[in-house]
């Protein structure tokens, strides 16, 4: 069984510490800071084996070198980022398989937010660690990639089982929800979800993980086929990519 500890750091980042109870293998996903990870390891008497980086932005790799120095862990990241992420030991690409003890991991390349972005999919655990590609009711800004690349990346993730839990790297949900409602005001499921999200945040509770099923029902970047969305953004009859591109442009200005 995969144990997942979610650490809230900085203003809105999440770090995930992963532990395979059977083998005692431990990894951390996107350590923005080292200290919260080291404290978690100490509290649980765990030894860090791996860092899994999704992309090179500082708020995902800031703790890499300190953690490597203090734990002798191995750093895993995209082959496309081997010159950009500090301390890489192992590079991976689309379709590669990894293991965290007894837990099997598939690598999926998801360019768009950055050119080298990857995600880590634990099929048996129904868990996806997706960095800044997919958010609750949102997707990553196009800092390096194109709308076409991000659209294709999201199509890959849409094909995963609907029960997949989405562990993204930021607590952006409330802002994303307001935008989602502005482009799909007739979505009843979305209207209720916003109420649930607001209740969680009022108690300072996380809205992450989310689940792919609810994202397919409420995330505008996965809902280009929604007639309500198409009409609201005046894109009826346009191609899925054109609809996605317009939606992303509107979000950038929101």
Distance CA 184, CA 114 (A): 27
Task: Quickly count: other Cβ atoms within 10 Å of residue 49's Cβ.
Answer: 20
Question: What single DSSP character describes residue 170?
Answer: B
Distance CA 67, CA 4 (A): 18
> Distance between alpha carbon 247 and the CA centroid of its chain, in Å?
19
User: What is the pLDDT at residue 73?
Assistant: 98
User: What is the pLDDT at residue 157?
Assistant: 98
- The pTM of this model reads 0.97
And the tokens for 71?
């734990």
Domain boundaries, the chain: 2-252
Structure-token match 């030991």, residue found: 89
Burial letters 140-171, b for 16+ CB under 10 A, else e: bebeebebebbbbbbeebeebeeebbbbbbbb
Tell me how far CA of residue 8 lies from CA of 14, 43, 63, 112, in angstroms: 5, 16, 14, 25
Task: Quickly count: other Cβ atoms within 10 Å of residue 251's Cβ.
Answer: 19
Instruction: Say yes or no: domain 2-252 is CATH 3.60.15.10.
Output: yes
And the tokens for 46?
């765990």
Question: What single DSSP character describes residue 54?
Answer: S
DSSP H or E stretch at residue 24: none
Tell me how far CA of residue 9 lies from CA of 32, 35, 63, 70, 203, in angstroms: 8, 10, 12, 20, 17
Strands 74-78 and 13-20: unpaired
User: What is the pLDDT at residue 217?
Assistant: 98
Per-residue pLDDT tens digits of the chain, which is 254 residues long: 899 999 999 999 999 999 999 999 999 999 999 999 999 999 999 999 999 999 999 999 999 999 999 999 999 999 999 999 999 999 999 999 999 999 999 999 999 999 999 999 999 999 999 999 999 999 999 999 999 999 999 999 999 999 999 999 999 999 999 999 999 999 999 999 999 999 999 999 999 999 999 999 999 999 999 999 999 999 999 999 999 999 999 999 99
């Amino acid at each position: 069984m995969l144990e997942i500890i979610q650490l809230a750091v900085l203003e809105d980042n999440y770090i995930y510490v992963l532990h395979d109870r059977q083998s005692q293998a431990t990894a951390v996903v996107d350590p923005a800071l080292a200290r919260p990870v080291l404290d978690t390891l100490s509290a649980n008497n765990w030894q860090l084996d791996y860092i899994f980086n999704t992309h090179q932005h500082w708020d995902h790799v800031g703790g890499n070198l300190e953690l490597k120095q203090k734990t002798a862990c191995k750093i895993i990241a995209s082959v496309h980022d081997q010159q950009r992420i500090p301390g890489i030991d192992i590079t991976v690409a689309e379709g590669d398989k990894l293991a965290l003890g007894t837990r099997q991991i598939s690598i999926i390349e998801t360019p768009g937010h950055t050119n080298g972005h990857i995600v880590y999919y634990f099929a048996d655990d129904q868990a996806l660690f997706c960095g800044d590609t997919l958010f609750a009711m949102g997707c990553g800004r196009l800092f390096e990639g194109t709308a076409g690349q991000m659209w294709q990346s999201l199509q890959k993730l849409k094909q995963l089982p609907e029960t997949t839990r989405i562990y993204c790297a930021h607590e952006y949900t409330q802002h994303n929800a307001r935008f989602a409602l502005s482009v799909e005001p007739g979505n009843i499921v979305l209207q209720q979800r916003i109420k649930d999200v607001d209740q969680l945040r009022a108690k300072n509770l996380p809205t992450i993980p989310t689940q792919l099923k609810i994202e397919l029902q409420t995330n505008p970047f996965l809902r280009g086929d929604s007639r309500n969305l198409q009409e609201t953004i005046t894109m009826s009859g346009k191609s899925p990519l054109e609809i996605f591109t317009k939606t992303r442009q509107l979000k950038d200005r929101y």
